[in-house]
Amino acid sequence: MKKLCKTRFTEKHTAIVCIRNLMQFIEEALTIIKSEWQSNESRKAATTLHNSICKTEFVVSVVILEEVRSILLPLTRQLQTAGLDLVDAMNGVSDLVESLQRLRSAE
């Protein structure tokens, strides 16, 4: 799994996609740790994490976060380009705002 980077926006997206793709395996690993490992500390931590990731709120949040970040990703990459024209950047931001507004109003 990728560690969530505090400063690199594109790597945050990659980490979230990785978590979503590996969710089943993460849940299975935590189940094994909490039931089979000898360390009480590890079992307790695994139980806490397992309970958290199995909540509907967590799963829905990860799916929504991945969707929103996928909309942000192209603009993020564009804004990191050397020599980017200000007008192009502003157009990209305007397009992004429109996309997010459409997503927000979709039923």
- Please state whether 83 falls in left (phi above 0), alpha (psi between -120 and 50) or beta: left
Residue 4 confidence (pLDDT): 61
In a domain, 49, yes or no: yes
- pTM for the complete prediction? 0.71
- Tokens 């967590």 correspond to 58
* Cα distance between residue 15 and residue 79, in whole Å: 20
* Total domains in the fold of the chain: 1
In a domain, 4, yes or no: no
In a domain, 72, yes or no: yes
Those residues of the chain that have pLDDT short of 70 are 1-7, 9, 107
Q: 3-state SS of the chain: helix, strand, coil percent to 5? A: 80, 0, 20
Residue 12 confidence (pLDDT): 79
Q: What is the mean pLDDT of the chain?
A: 88
Residue 23 confidence (pLDDT): 93
In a domain, 2, yes or no: no
Residue 6 confidence (pLDDT): 63
Residue 1 confidence (pLDDT): 56
The tokens for 39 are 């360390």
In a domain, 101, yes or no: yes
In a domain, 90, yes or no: yes
The tokens for 55 are 């909540």
Q: Give the residue numbers spanning the domain of 42.
A: 9-105
